[in-house]
């Protein structure tokens, strides 16, 4: 199993420890939570982020909520679980994984047949743990499958953050790096800083440094030159959604990297759980709605203004990389070829 130095969520006995990602990379703060409402707050204020990690946190939140109800019986607890689930899901209403994780624990609650309260609580806790462990195994499988694509001495470019901190395990794109390292390959990484929210600078470079991987931080606009100079052997990114035709929605800037990779004949890999292929109703990338973010994320960096007041801004959160620019999809079920001709 890939052993990470830091994990986003660590379940304990009746409590959950969450690494406060808002403080990274400057401070490593671990918060122990026993009250589900604190986990809601943690999700709301982005202490924890990344689709799989949020889903796992939501599952534990509901399992914790069931533990808090001491003065009631199982029948009553089962009745109030639906309201508690809604409360947790409302922490980030658009996070599909959050709903999914919470629903899984809720279904277990509804299906519970006995009347032993402690057993009920443990049953829910075990389900939350299962979700975490399944995600860990997914990451492991993605990493192992992807590692076979990398050679000893390769340098990988990645965009945004698709690492351990976003999942229950070793991440998606970064799991490939860790698995290759564990297979004895020396792998270097170039990390795009990923404006506007700088996930590459704040999270990817930090996580890789913590794991002892040789990482070099660049501004997004330097990727082209690095490729032209022959510094990059492969690009690996994560993804938020994959349309039925294989088009990939991921953090803004991914499409630019994919175009550059094709121009320089560098393979472009998308790492994700196989289930991401089924995650949307979108038939093609054109059907994936693109969220626009607040102008302030571009005009200010950590509160400091860097642009004229009132300047017009265009800030899409994601872009869509057509299947034709993808060399292959790295999934837990194996490698699925993309649409790039070379």
- Of 173, 227, 223, the closest CA to residue 203 belongs to 173
Single residue of 38, 133, 224, 324 touching its own copies by CB under 8 A? 224
In the region spanning residues 123 to 162, those forming contacts with its own copies, defined by CB under 8 A, are 159
Cβ atoms within 10 Å of 221's Cβ, excluding its own: 12
Indicate whether 215 belongs to the interface with its own copies (CB under 8 A).
Answer: yes
263 binds its own copies (CB under 8 A): yes
Q: Under the criterion CB under 8 A, does residue 313 sit at the interface with its own copies? A: yes
Cα atoms found within 13 Å of the Cα of residue 172, Cβ hemisphere only: 32
Q: How far is CA 340 from CA 32, 84, 259, in A?
A: 46, 46, 11
- The partner residues of 158 in beta bridges, in order of sequence, read 191
Out of 21, 121, 194, 272, point to the residue binding its own copies (CB under 8 A): 194
Determine the Cα–Cα distance for residues 82 and 86; give it in Å rounded to an integer: 6
Q: Considering only the stretches 12-20, 98-106, 312-320, 327-335, report the one whose residues sit in contact with its own copies under the rule CB under 8 A.
A: 312-320
- Identify which range of 4-12, 169-177, 219-227, 276-284 contacts its own copies by CB under 8 A: 219-227
Report the alpha-carbon distance of residue 55 to residue 34 in Å, rounded: 17
Helix (H, G, I), strand (E, B) or coil at 97: helix
- Least distance (Å) between residue 124 CB and its own copies: 37
If one asks whether residue 301 binds its own copies (CB under 8 A), the answer comes out as: yes
Binding-site residue total for its own copies (CB under 8 A)?
56
Stretch that binds its own copies, among 163-171, 177-185, 186-194, 237-245 (CB under 8 A): 186-194
Q: What is the CA radius of gyration of the chain?
A: 21
Task: Report DSSP state, residue 293.
Answer: P
Let me know: does 197 contact 163? Beta carbons within 8 Å.
no
Looking at 33-41, 79-87, 102-110, 195-203, which segment touches its own copies (CB under 8 A)? 195-203
x-marked contacts with its own copies along 44-63 as a string, rule CB under 8 A? --------------------
**Of these, 7, 92, 161, 202, which contacts its own copies (CB under 8 A)?**
202
The reply on whether position 315 binds its own copies by CB under 8 A is: yes
The C-alpha atoms of residue 67 and residue 298 are separated, in whole angstroms, by 42
Active site residue 342: no
- Binding segment for its own copies (CB under 8 A), chosen from 46-54, 135-143, 196-204, 327-335, is 196-204
Which of 60, 125, 142, 57 minimizes the C-alpha distance to 95?
57
Selected catalytic residue, list 135, 192, 240, 332: 240
- For the chain, the first-to-last Cα distance in angstroms comes to 34
Distance from C-alpha of 116 to C-alpha of 131, rounded to nearest angstrom: 23
According to CB under 8 A, which one of 5, 94, 281, 314 is a site residue for its own copies? 314
Q: Specify the residue, 235 or 260, whose C-beta has the smaller distance to its own copies.
A: 260
Among 36, 178, 255, 329, binds its own copies (CB under 8 A): 255
- Give me the DSSP letters along 123-191: HHHHHHHHHHHHHHHHHHHHHHHHHTTPPTT-EEEE-S--BGGGSSSSBSHHHHHHHHHHTT---EEEE
- Which of 10, 96, 209, 335 is close enough to bind its own copies by CB under 8 A? 209
- String of DSSP letters for 106-118: HHHHHH-----HH
Query: In whole angstroms, how close is the CB of 206 to its own copies at the nearest point?
Result: 4
317: Cβ–Cβ under 8 A, 6 or more apart, which residues?
251, 252, 290, 291, 292, 293
Binding site for its own copies (CB under 8 A): 25-26, 159, 190, 192-196, 198, 201-202, 205-206, 209, 214-226, 228, 231, 252-253, 255-256, 259-260, 263, 298-299, 301-316, 319
- Catalytic residue positions? 240
């Amino acid at each position: 199993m890939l052993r990470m130095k830091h994990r986003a969520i660590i379940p304990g006995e009746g409590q959950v420890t969450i690494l406060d990602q808002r403080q990274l990379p400057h401070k490593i703060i671990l918060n122990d939570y026993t009250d589900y409402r604190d986990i809601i707050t943690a999700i709301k204020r982005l202490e924890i982020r990344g689709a799989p990690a949020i889903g796992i946190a939501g599952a534990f939140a509901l399992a914790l909520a069931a533990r808090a109800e001491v003065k009631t019986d199982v029948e009553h607890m089962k009745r109030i679980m639906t309201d508690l689930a809604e409360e947790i899901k409302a922490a980030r209403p658009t996070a599909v994984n959050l709903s999914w994780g919470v629903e899984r624990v809720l279904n277990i609650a509804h299906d519970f047949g006995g009347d032993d309260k402690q057993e009920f609580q443990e049953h829910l806790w075990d389900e939350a743990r299962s979700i975490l462990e399944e995600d860990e195994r997914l990451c492991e499988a993605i990493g192992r499958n992807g590692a076979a694509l990398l050679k000893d001495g390769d340098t990988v470019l990645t965009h945004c953050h698709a690492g351990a901190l976003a999942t229950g395990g070793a991440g998606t794109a970064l799991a490939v790096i860790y698995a290759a390292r564990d297979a004895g390959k020396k792998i270097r990484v170039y990390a795009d800083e990923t404006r506007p929210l700088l996930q590459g600078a704040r999270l990817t470079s930090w996580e890789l440094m913590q794991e002892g991987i040789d990482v070099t931080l660049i501004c997004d606009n330097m990727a082209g030159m690095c490729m032209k100079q022959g510094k990059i052997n492969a690009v690996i990114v994560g993804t938020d959604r994959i349309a039925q035709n294989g088009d990939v929605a991921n953090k803004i800037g991914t499409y630019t990297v994919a175009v550059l990779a094709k121009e320089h004949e560098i393979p472009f890999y998308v790492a994700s759980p196989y289930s991401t292929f089924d995650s949307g109703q979108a038939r093609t990338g054109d059907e994936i709605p693109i969220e626009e973010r607040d102008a302030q994320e571009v005009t200010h960096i950590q509160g400091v203004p860097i642009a004229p007041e009132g300047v017009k801004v265009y800030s899409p959160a994601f872009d869509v990389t057509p299947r034709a620019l993808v060399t292959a999809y790295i999934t837990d079920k194996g490698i699925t070829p993309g649409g790039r001709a070379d």
